[in-house]
Amino acid sequence: MISSTSASIGDLAANKHSATTDKGMLRVQAILDAARQLLATEGYAGLTMRAVAHEVGVSLSTVQHYFNNKEVLVQAVLTYVMDHYQAVVADLMNTLSQQSQLERFMVIIDMVLIETRRPETYGILTEMYALANRLPFAAQLMETVFAREQKEIFRLIYGIEPALSAHECKRRSAIIVAQIHGLATQLVGKHGTGLTRTQLEDAARQSFIRLATLP
């Protein structure tokens, strides 16, 4: 976890805002890292509080001290992942301050495309999509994830094409996010489109450019 998001670690632990010490925050981070890996590799069914405790090397009661139940833990994992990506984007934007807004947008998009290739990212997304179809808490979590991503994309594209209103940029941001998630499901394994991963990514980039620039 990079330093710009470490301050929010304590907030991810249930009702422990003031009591989470530096040592406690490190433990919370270790719990979240273990839970994230288990969710990606073993799925929601394999993500148990006891399994997380075993991976971290702490007692079950220690995990429960910070996270009351598995649903709270999964919510914290997704928030943790989103906070990390948001901080990475912010850092990238600062380093690219001399480039045009469109160039910055495309750098971020390339970073996102690279991220969609990671088995861990694909594993978590696939699991959450499946859960959202049958568990209300998972559906709500995914709505939150999409809303945050749409807000970030909006911030990246608004103003690239002055003729596009804020409302239209918000609409296009939602389309871009939907395409990114759709692409993530196509980039691992056999996708049946007859296109290579590179071809799919190139097509996605061109679509994103059009959505960000065409009035």
Give residue limits of the domains in the chain: 1-73, 96-215
More confident residue, 159 or 191: 159
**What pLDDT is attached to residue 76?**
92
Q: How confident is the model at residue 4 (pLDDT cuts 50, 70, 90)?
A: very low
Residue 203 pLDDT > 80: yes
CATH class of the domain comprising 96-215: mainly alpha
- Whether the Cβ atoms of residue 20 and residue 8 lie closer than 8 Å to each other: no
Q: From the centroid of its chain, how far is CA 88? A: 11
More confident residue, 158 or 137: 158
* pLDDT, tens digit (0-9, with 9 covering 90-100), for 38-76: 999 999 999 999 999 999 999 999 999 999 999 999 999
**What pLDDT is attached to residue 51?**
97
Query: Domain 1-73 falls in which CATH fold?
Result: Arc Repressor Mutant, subunit A (1.10.10)
Residue 125 pLDDT > 80: yes
Between CA 177 and CA 148 the distance in angstroms is 10
* pLDDT, tens digit (0-9, with 9 covering 90-100), for 179-200: 998 888 776 555 556 778 888 8
**What pLDDT is attached to residue 99?**
92
* pLDDT, tens digit (0-9, with 9 covering 90-100), for 75-106: 999 888 888 888 888 888 889 888 999 999 99
Between CA 67 and CA 74 the distance in angstroms is 9
Instruction: Supply the DSSP string of 116-180, one letter for each residue.
Output: HTSHHHHHHHHHHHHHHTT-HHHHHHHHHHHHHHHHHHHHHHTTTSTTS-HHHHHHHHHHHHHHH
The percentage of residues in the chain with a pLDDT greater than 90, rounded to a whole number, is: 55
Q: How confident is the model at residue 37 (pLDDT cuts 50, 70, 90)?
A: very high
Q: How confident is the model at residue 120 (pLDDT cuts 50, 70, 90)?
A: confident
Q: pTM to 2 decimals?
A: 0.81
Cα dist from 198 to 68, 114, 149, whole Å: 43, 11, 23
Between CA 36 and CA 78 the distance in angstroms is 8
More confident residue, 49 or 17: 49
